[in-house]
Structures are given as C-alpha cells and as structure tokens.
Structure 1
Amino acid sequence: CHGKIILTLSKYKMTKITFITFGKIKSEPIKELIEYYLMLLGKYSKTEYRVLKDVDGRKVEASDLNSSFRDLGYTIAVSEQGTDFTTEGFKFFVDKRFRYENNITFIFGNAFGLDQEFLQKCDYSIALSKLTFTHELAIVLMIEQLYRVLNITSGGSYHK
C-alpha cells in the first residue's frame, strides 16, 4: 500500500497544472490564499499561474486563448455550466486525468464567463457549485480542491 502511494505521487509530479485567469487579482487576502494553495499544490505537481489581460466580453477573451490552445494540454474550463462533482468524484476524475495527461490547464473566465464556442473546444468543463462565486474566489476554491484531492490520494490528513 505504501509503495502505491509513492508511485502515485511520483506520477503526479510529472503532470503540470496550469491555471489561466483574466485580469489581476485586486484583493490582497485572495492573492495570499492563491499563493498559499499553489505552494501546497506544488508538493504534488508542477504548477503555473498565468494572468492574461482582462477584457470586456467573452469573444475577445476566447480569441486570446485560441492562439495558444494546442499548447495547453488537457483543457478544463471552470464554468457554472460545467459538471458538478462531489469531493470523491473529483478525486476520481483528477486521478484518471493525471494518469494519462502531462499537462492539465484550468481556465477561468472573467466576470462574463467564457465564450460558448470556446467552452466547446475545451476537453472538459467543471462547475464548482450551483452557487455563484466571485471570479477571484472561484480561483482559490479550485486550487484548494485540487490540493485536497491530491492530498487525499497521497494518504494525507488535510481533508479530515
């Protein structure tokens, strides 16, 4: 059992997780939480956090990403229209993706969300909740949930 955990963690270290968001985070406490959870997540995977220029509307946002879409690996849009998961279901999803993908990119739209056409190009779409969150808080929640499921998979006690 212990050997399996080590094997699983070493596989995760090979997977790079990128978070792409639009517009700078204005709230200092939110910035600190993002940095904190990225640091924790870094124990399990390589991470990158990219901030693209904020724009008005969805179409321009999508076109900014389209130019580099092929380089993003397995793309997951974080959208209110996406699939809802329980923590256990999300753990299973992440474990499966990490076994088969070298690069996983989570894309957050701005306050207007992501363009429908762009959403269809993504490999998958995840909803954090049926509740509405600010763009900034959604980023924190997604990074925290990824840390949570990777910690669970590794036998950690964060979730208890």
Structure 2
Amino acid sequence: MNITILTVGKIKERYLRDAIDEYAKRMSRFCKLQIMQVNDEKTPEHASAAEELQIKQREGERLMAHIKPQSTVIALAIEGRMLTSEQLAHEIEEFGLRGHSNLVFVIGGSLGLDPRILKRADMLLSFSRMTFPHQLMRVILLEQLYRAYKINAGEPYHK
C-alpha cells in the first residue's frame, strides 16, 4: 500500500523531525510512505473570517495539486470520526481489501482545511475534539499508522 501524508507548513523543531524520521523508518516494512508538504500562508494577527477563508483556499489549492483523482483521501478534521487504534487498523485493512492502494492523509495548516479538501475527502478522521499543533499532528498520525500496521500484522506493539 502507498501512504502519503500531505501537510501544510514545514517542521522547524528538530525533535519532531527526528520522531517523524523514526516512524517513517519503522513503517517502511509495511508500506511505501511519502511525506509531502506545501507552503503555508502567513496569517495576520487579527485576520477577519474572510481573510482566514482566503488563506485556507490558497493552502487548499496547493494541497489539491498533489491529490490524484484515484487517491483515497482521509482528511484530518476535528469534526471527523473518532476511532480507536484497532478501528483505524481495520479501516486501513478494509481500504486495501477494496483495492484502495493509494491513501492520502491530509493535515491542514493552523486554520484547518479548505472546505474543498473536506468535500473531496473519502473520510474525515478526528484524533480528538481538542486542537493540536499541525506539526505535532504529523507525529501522532505516523505513530497511529505504525500502530495500525502492527495490529494488522498481529504484532504486540499496540498493547
């Protein structure tokens, strides 16, 4: 299976880059992983709702340019479905069984995702009703994907 993590913005903190690299290395035995990032937009301190929507639209255009029509898109969104680790493992396995071999997980910028990305998504996934920094979300997502593959392989990591 091909997994792409498509994100907005760069990772500046070394400890987060190290964690991302570690999980990417671990996942290499289970899938082909690609991490792609697009530039984020600077948000003015007191941006209006219209300005925030324009920022999300510009970031959304950049993200959409990397989503192929045949890809299965899973957008991380606070309003999405919350799953247990076992349920996520099952969903990933089911996608594979249904012939969906290109999964694209999309993480938005600090303002969230453009509504067009949410509409294009085949699934909205939420890790919590809380807000997490989008840079940290990459690590959390990678850890959960690794955990899902370990669960599906019948290996004990998830205990």
Q: Aligned equivalents of 1:72 and 1:110: distance in 2?
A: 24
Q: AA paired with 2:4? A: T
Aligned residue number for residue 56 of structure 2: 58
The separation in 2 between residues aligned to 1:21 and 1:107, in whole angstroms, is 6
TM-score with structure 1 setting the length:
0.85
Q: Deviations over 1:100-121 (max 9, x none)?
A: 2121110100001001232111
Q: Secondary structure at the match of 1:101?
A: coil
Identity over aligned residues, as a percent? Answer: 29
Equivalent of residue 87 in structure 1, options 85, 88, 94: 85
Q: Is 2:146 the partner of 1:147?
A: yes
Amino acid at match of 2:130: L
* Alignment correspondent of 1:31: 17
Q: Which runs of 4+ in 1 moved over 3 A?
A: none
Structure 2: unaligned runs, 5 residues or longer = 43-54
Within 5 Å, give how 1:1-160 maps onto structure 2.
15-56=1-42, 57-71=55-69, 73-99=71-97, 100-160=99-159
User: For each residue in 1:95-144, what CA deviation from the matched residue of structure 2 results, as whole angstroms up to 9, or x when unmatched?
Assistant: 10122212111010000100123211111110111222111111111110
Query: 1:72, 1:105 within 8 Å by CA — same for their partners in 2?
Result: no
For residue 42 of structure 1, report the CA deviation from its aligned partner: 1.0
The Cα of 1:71 is off from its aligned counterpart by: 4.9
Secondary structure at the counterpart of residue 58 of structure 1:
helix
Q: Deviations over 1:9-29 (max 9, x none)?
A: xxxxxx100011111101110
Report the Cα distance in structure 2 between the residues aligned to 1:68 and 1:132, rounded to whole angstroms: 25
Amino acid at match of 1:95: E
Partner of 2:11, secondary structure, is: coil
Partner secondary structure for residue 158 of structure 2: coil
Structure with higher helix content: 1
Give the deviation of 1:69 after TM superposition. 2.8
Residue 88 (structure 1) shift = 1.7
- CA RMSD between the two structures: 1.4
**Structure 1 segments unaligned to the other structure (5+ residues):** 1-14
Distance in 2 (CA, whole Å) between partners of 1:72 and 1:29 is 34
Gap change, CA 1:72 and 1:64, over 3 Å in 2: farther
Separation of aligned partners in 1, 2:64 and 2:140: 25
Deviates more, 1:35-44 or 1:63-72: 63-72
Q: TM-score, normalised by structure 2?
A: 0.86
The 2-side partners of 1:78 and 1:53 are apart by: 18
Q: Contact (CA 8 Å) 1:17, 1:105: kept in 2 or not? A: yes
Cα distance in 2 for partners of 1:81, 1:117 equals 15
